[in-house]
Chains A and B, each alone.
Chain A
Amino acid sequence: MGIEPLTAGRAVRVLLLAAAFAAAVMLLTPLVGPARIDFWKAWRGEFPDAQMFFGVRWPRTLLAMLSGGALALAGVLFQALLRDPLATPFTLGVSSGASLGAVLMIVLGVHTLWGLPALWAGAACGALAVLVIVVSVAAEGRRVSSFTLLLAGVAINSIASSLIMLLHNLATVGQSFAIVHWLMGNIDPVPAPTLAGLALVVLPVSILACAYARHWNLMAVGEEWAAARGASPQRLLLGGYLAGSLLAAAVTAVTGPIGFVGLVVPHALRLRIGSDHRVLLPASFLVGGAFLTLCDTAARTLLSVELPVSVVTALVGGPVFIFLLRSRRRSLWL
């Protein structure tokens, strides 16, 4: 039993395939919806197809692509750094921090903060606060270990969750509805500047993370292994944590916590293409984005009411993942 080696040729093939899949999803999903859109009319700029396509559905598709891509990539990164296949972008507490910030804004009844929607600003501040707390708790002297990082993250996670429950308990019925809606995670339409801001965080951080792919390979094996192959585990651990947290925080601030993408997409891809992060990271971004876009399309079209997208990611992703596990078990790829 053998596995096809990941040569440069195969890596390029895999990435081109993933890119083509993502591009097709990006072009086709905006056509799906209650109002029919003719792609060529939209392309020629005819009313109302162009306005529907580029003004309403396309930004939503872009938001889902960016969010799904960032979450899947952050998942890969955290799984490698913590050497924990069950790690997700939310394991280290960033998203509960974001949620706490957003929920606080809802309960305080603040609508705008520094000219930004208060939900996003609050979520970003909450995520940042958690980032600082986790790193300072995890650092023993000047050393950070993946183990203390994990423990600090789990502790912060549960503290933030309890505070959210406390706030939820104190909230009015109207606020309570807003809180639950936010905590479910949604790809709601967002204004163009927000989308641009998200892209300005997500794209550079993702590209930077891909540039260090060789080093994530080493870190996924072990810190001593990495050190003995010429890498600096301390710097990689901290840098990778910051990169993954930035991605998770930026996305969560805009969409709320969307689960499962950061867990199921990386593992499904590892089953197919292995763990070489040079291919795994970019492929996770492309496929993760496409996956979330498809789930969001299903969420807004399947029933007459819009479903929370996290319900769809889990309902679609779970069975697909179990199928993949079962069909590949004999070849020992998981």
Chain B
Amino acid sequence: MSVQFELDQAGMRYGGVAVLEGVTLRFPRAELVTLIGPNGAGKSTLLGIMAGLRRGHEGRCLMNGRAVSEWRRRDFARLVSFVPQTLRFDFPFTAEQVVLMGRTPYAGGFFDSREDWLAVQEAMEETDTRGLARRDFRSLSGGERQRVMLAAALAQKPAALLLDEPAAFLDLHHQLMIYELLRRQARAGRLVIAVTHDVNLAASFADRVVALRAGRVAADAAPCEALSAERIREVFGVRAEWIARGDGRAWIAYGD
């Protein structure tokens, strides 16, 4: 089962202030899309609307032809998974229990099925979190938490992954690891949409880049076009330059 999203003039107001306005976007195929833009541009709000977490938005947001708000949550969660940037835990759950929560949309009985455990194991393998399985989630570092949350989303076996800054707290090795994982997910037929502030991660891994500025779509194109020097100046107000690395690949340098 594949997932397609269709946004038509989607917008959101908080107390009369428009944080997102007139967003019309199509996500018709499995690919890795990165969502970039300055703070407050509406990236998380857009992701929240698509994940069905922001009620009362303007315009339309359809998943597979049906409005996101009309889906039964359980059916929706089997197709679309959302990964928040951070989570604050007040109670002791092990990392493994957190990943197991991703299986809730499939839960039949009181106990977890063999299939549930297999999905958990596989997801923890892929996110390099097997060694954390029995640790208290609250004792994990920010980056470890992010990988565990991603594992929970993978265990959910969704056809689309929506991620809010999945690499924000990750070390360099794990940043690359997670983006390689996301690219593999996209190649395997899933739609992956990730918010990021790292233009180089976006440029080297994304199939498509959507840039938001002040609640509106400022660019929606392949990385080389959406992240061109002019676009970066337009969107972020920062001088940028594409330079060639030693191995000939491109790199975006920014700042004065």
Contacts and interface: CB of A to CB of B under 8 A. Distances in A.
B92 interface: yes
A3 interface: yes
B87 A225 contact: yes
Interface string A4-30: 111010010000000000000000000
A142 to B, nearest CB: 10
A217 B97 contact: yes
B79 to A, nearest CB: 10
Nearest to B97: A276
Contacts, number: 105
B156 A229 contact: yes
A229 B53 contact: no
Interface residues of A, number: 39
A227 B48 CA distance: 11
A3 B90 CA distance: 17
A213 B134 CA distance: 21
Interface residues of B, number: 40
Interface in B148-178: 152, 156
Contact of A222 (B48, B51, B87): B87
A28 B31 CA distance: 66
B177 to A, nearest CB: 23
Nearest to B132: A2
Nearest to A3: B134
Contacts of B204: none
A231 B73 CA distance: 6
Contacts of B112: 8
A90 to B, nearest CB: 19
Interface in B95-140: 96-98, 101-102, 104-105, 107, 110-112, 133-136, 138-139
Given A2-B135, A217-B101, A220-B91, 17 more contacts: A1-B135, A3-B94, A5-B97, A5-B133, A6-B97, A11-B111, A80-B91, A218-B101, A220-B90, A224-B53, A230-B73, A230-B76, A231-B73, A231-B74, A270-B91, A332-B138, A333-B92
Interface of A: 1-6, 8, 11, 79-80, 83-85, 211, 213-215, 217-218, 220-222, 224-225, 227-232, 270-271, 274-276, 278, 332-334
| CB-based closest 4 A-B pairs | A230-B77, A230-B105, A2-B134, A228-B82
